Structure 1
């Protein structure tokens, strides 16, 4: 692939960098701007969102006809990395999970009528959304074939019974995408549905306490007790739930990696600044060999992550599923984020462990990266399965013109 980016993408990147520096980082530094769950307070968020929209930095990942800028995945990689220099960045630009992945899959899979009803309000920032798939044991986690939540058709509607948990953003969401079982067919047994918060027949059982800071709406356990969904609110067709899930989760895993690279770079930035200022035993920390080795290794690992992300983004832009490439990026960048935050805390000492910098926030957040959208071990099994199938061709080069 060509590693140059277009002047348009670079202009967007520069404008995002300026916006983050001048508008978002001062809010991030103000502890009064945080809500009870470690995210930006909504009254501080909305003015930033309005300004980002006015400067043409809103929903860059969506098509122009939807209201976005039409960035491809390579362009998104460049811009998302810049957005997440701040822990508040992605949500300001309406590029944060789960809305980000939900908007992209609705843009791709929904009918025009469904887009108007379900996608446009999310794109406009009027409502938030959630993707309800994961279930408590013995239901589905990384293996969707274990799904227990059922949707039974009755006339022109489906009746849903079951339970979901760790549904990101559910407490604040108005629009939901729900995956439920409609038959026992191993390939076409799942169906994707759209439903609204105000429909009866479901409830949030609890907002699950977690180690790290939370997205708006937390991570919730949901109970469905005869939720009725009209057949017109099926996404794609009955039995296409697994297809819809694959359409959503592959790109969403990669956009996580794009954002995590920004947080890893921010961790290095904070560590380098402190090391350059701090003296110990008559010498700046930045001159000590041990510190230089730490920072040099992180710089290399971040670049490895960027290359993996770009390769996967390029493959997606070419119309491929990029399962191998996304899995490699997901494993590497998730572990890199944790290492970057941990190393930066070590260099900062007690200051890094305090809340005087975002490092402790990033560290707590980073631990989930190795679990969300497929644990490390699941992605490594995917890679081994491809290796077993392809043998030495696992590493083959594509030839131009083929």
Structure 2
């Protein structure tokens, strides 16, 4: 697989190599053929029928949720990188193997913060792949709610006996349609519990209304990205995730590795897009020679190879930082910015090399291009991460004066 040797430098375990290589074979041989399957919903995402069929194959192959062990423990982030990159070799691979957002991040958060009760009630069905989940944080701009700035959160929760009552709106909630587990973030103004709170809920719930599921540039995830109204949702107090008022801290527990996981999966997709583009350029002839022998084409593919190596290096570097126990917000921001930009250039070059074929659905290249474009926004736009990094530079400068 072109572009994967950094794992040797960062010490991927033999166990992870065995798992990752098994995942790669499964995705290439069993899941890639589904890329032309016509079972898609109104916005182009895989239907639940298609998802369940692919997950059935993953269970048979022993690659369902491969980064979480039978005892509930997780692979290290470095080992996870080796596995998730390979699951991403097809846009459908992470769905089939249950390594896709938002489920992967939600499982990570619940595993690290959830009580034994919450893990038993909600986590098992996610790890098994029997249920999908959604993470309710972003809010509509026309409502003045939280987007990249979670401190603007307007969804409110208040105590009512042994329950909390939640009211508000959410938007771009990936996979909400069809999800069976939700993690809802809301703001408390209760004395002694001020701040953000998180709640685990069963879905669907009549108090959670899907207003619309817009068509978006990406369509790799079932359920789309819904806009939601939450109207007097009653949640038992024991379904609060962690402590009241600590929601922003828990969000960082989830978001830092989740950003990195996105990088892992889409790196795998770009590795595959590069393979397709190289194959095309070596087979196609123009002006009496193969396309790859034209510098304008060959140089793009050579740059892609370089960019793949740089992206891989960033992924493993950030993973190694997270494995030290550091929250890794700085490193995950840097990696998200750098890898998203590198992968965007790779995907664009692949489309360009393939010409007219590159913008058709005859291969996954055009989809990878669309997915990477969306990735540059999701989990924090590039500009927000750069702004955060600039603030840290300023803070460090002040400390030195």
Residue 133 (structure 2) aligned to one of 118, 129, 133: 129
For 1:159-174, what aligned pairs fall within 5 Å after superposition?
159-174=165-180
Unpaired stretches in structure 2, ≥5 consecutive residues? 1-7
Residue 287 (structure 1) aligned to one of 266, 278, 293: 293
SS of 2:310's equivalent in the other structure is helix
Residue 303 (structure 1) aligned to one of 305, 309, 323: 309
Cα separation, 1, equivalents of 2:190 and 2:339: 36
Residue in structure 2 matched with residue 398 of structure 1 by the alignment: none
CA gap 1:285/1:187 in 2 versus in 1, 3 angstroms = farther
Residue in structure 2 matched with residue 175 of structure 1 by the alignment: 181
Contact 1:62 1:104 in 2 (8 A): no
Contact 1:276 1:285 in 2 (8 A): yes
SS of 1:190's equivalent in the other structure is strand
Q: CA offset at residue 60 of structure 1?
A: 2.3
Cα separation, 1, equivalents of 2:91 and 2:341: 18
Contact 2:199 2:235 in 1 (8 A): yes
Q: Deviations over 1:265-293 (max 9, x none)?
A: 11211110000000001010111112121
SS of 2:212's equivalent in the other structure is strand
Q: Deviations over 1:292-316 (max 9, x none)?
A: 2111111111111111111111111
1:373 partnered with 2:379: yes
Cα separation, 2, equivalents of 1:222 and 1:31: 29
Contact 1:151 1:159 in 2 (8 A): yes
Residue in structure 1 matched with residue 104 of structure 2 by the alignment: 100
Cα separation, 2, equivalents of 1:347 and 1:392: 47
Cα separation, 2, equivalents of 1:18 and 1:210: 31
Cα separation, 2, equivalents of 1:232 and 1:185: 19
Residue in structure 1 matched with residue 205 of structure 2 by the alignment: 199
For 1:284-363, what aligned pairs fall within 5 Å after superposition?
284-363=290-369
Cα separation, 2, equivalents of 1:187 and 1:362: 43
Unpaired stretches in structure 1, ≥5 consecutive residues? 395-402
For 1:3-402, what aligned pairs fall within 5 Å after superposition?
3-28=10-35, 30-66=36-72, 70-137=74-141, 138-183=144-189, 188-391=194-397
Q: CA offset at residue 391 of structure 1?
A: 4.8
Q: Deviations over 1:225-281 (max 9, x none)?
A: 111111111000111111111111111011000011111111211110000000001
CA gap 1:364/1:187 in 2 versus in 1, 3 angstroms = farther
Q: CA offset at residue 141 of structure 1?
A: 0.7
Q: Could you state the TM-score of these two structures normalised by the residue count of structure 2?
A: 0.92
Contact 2:45 2:223 in 1 (8 A): no
Q: Could you state the TM-score of these two structures normalised by the residue count of structure 1?
A: 0.92
Cα separation, 1, equivalents of 2:271 and 2:386: 25
SS of 1:248's equivalent in the other structure is helix
Contact 1:164 1:221 in 2 (8 A): yes
Q: CA offset at residue 51 of structure 1?
A: 2.9
Cα separation, 2, equivalents of 1:297 and 1:188: 50
Cα separation, 1, equivalents of 2:193 and 2:148: 15
Q: CA offset at residue 31 of structure 1?
A: 3.7
Contact 2:43 2:216 in 1 (8 A): no
| Alpha-carbon RMSD | 2.1
Cα separation, 1, equivalents of 2:191 and 2:311: 38
Out of 212-221 and 178-187, give the one that drifted further.
178-187
Contact 1:265 1:302 in 2 (8 A): yes
Q: CA offset at residue 6 of structure 1?
A: 2.1
Out of 378-387 and 133-142, give the one that drifted further.
378-387
